[in-house]
A = this chain, B = another copy of it.
């Protein structure tokens, strides 16, 4: 069986696991007060080009989003997000559970547009009853989006501009950020992300760690007293060094970027293989998630030796499927898939 279900179906990248094994017997302080964590924070500060950034490691993505958003918003504020955004759909109400409304915007292949945000905020304050409504207090975007698409540098700059013109922070959910950075035609760097966002996170879980997300605060006015907030949200790991060790391994020699590059490279090969075989590429994704419209009998045939995601029917004879690559996807896996496609 070849696996293209998701980027979190295997354990950790071997280099990371090796570090966890090598350090297992050491005694360190808990809750992130260890040297591995300090070094990992320092490496991230270097990678993003921002010495003053505050870095905090949390365990998972929903937790990180809920903690950051709860910490940023004032009581009367909500978070603007694409209606397809992870926080709007797939977090079991974690944002609302902390008391805040997700204010949804139409999406364009998963992306929001600066002009829509401008219009939202302008109309909001033009409404005489705005004091009775939830004020837009920050913008949430995911990079790449839930559809595998990527904001260009220009789009990011426009979003950052519109946010800061209206004095609301820009928060980037980077659960799969490494795949955006390695995406086909990417014209932005991690430093751009850090420069344009006020708060963002660098996801580990989907990029090859066992778990862990690095929350980065570059706008020093935000998220003060982060430690107790993280603890209160149940997001503080007792053996905090596990996060430090993994992120140190990720950022010491560029492993984070390498994992992204490999996965994207294989994903693009998959996309082109399907396209060449005459199938419909549903979204023009430059990242590790690819969406195809396939005849149902093709899906059935593939399933005998390949695992992937079913995303719903399109008419009586076709369906949408998702193929995802990750740290453990090999060129050989894709070679075998290509062969299968040729044999169909």
Do residues B25 and A11 form an inter-chain contact, with CB atoms below 8 A? yes
| 30 interchain pairs, CB-CB under 8 A | A5-B27, A6-B30, A8-B30, A8-B239, A10-B24, A27-B328, A60-B238, A62-B234, A71-B75, A75-B228, A75-B232, A76-B93, A78-B93, A89-B133, A90-B129, A92-B131, A92-B228, A93-B228, A93-B232, A94-B233, A94-B234, A96-B99, A96-B134, A97-B98, A97-B232, A98-B99, A128-B310, A210-B210, A210-B239, A211-B237
- Please, what's the 1-or-0 string for A92-116, where 1 marks a CB less than 8 Å from any CB in chain B? 1110111111100000000000000
Pick from B9, B24, B59, B98: contact of A11, CB under 8 Å: B24
Q: Which chain B residue has the least Cβ–Cβ distance from A104?
A: B104
| Cβ–Cβ < 8 Å partners of A339 in chain B | none
Q: A17-B21, A132-B90 are in contact. Are A59 and B237 (CB under 8 A)?
A: yes
**Which of A12, A61, A96, A224 has the most chain B CB atoms closer than 10 A to its own CB?**
A96
Do residues B211 and A242 form an inter-chain contact, with CB atoms below 8 A? yes
Q: Which chain B residue has the least Cβ–Cβ distance from A33?
A: B131
- Please, what's the 1-or-0 string for A18-38, where 1 marks a CB less than 8 Å from any CB in chain B? 001101111111100000000
| Cβ–Cβ < 8 Å partners of A3 in chain B | 27
| Cβ–Cβ < 8 Å partners of A89 in chain B | 133
Pick from B66, B100, B131, B132: contact of A96, CB under 8 Å: B100
**Which of A8, A233, A235 has the most chain B CB atoms closer than 10 A to its own CB?**
A233
Instruction: Report A130 CB to chain B, min CB distance, Å.
Output: 9
Q: Which chain B residue has the least Cβ–Cβ distance from A63?
A: B234
Q: Which chain B residue has the least Cβ–Cβ distance from A75?
A: B229
Do residues A97 and B75 form an inter-chain contact, with CB atoms below 8 A? yes
Do residues B10 and A27 form an inter-chain contact, with CB atoms below 8 A? yes
Instruction: Report A317 CB to chain B, min CB distance, Å.
Output: 19
Pick from B25, B71, B76, B224: contact of A228, CB under 8 Å: B76
Do residues A92 and B211 form an inter-chain contact, with CB atoms below 8 A? no
A67 within 8 A of B: yes
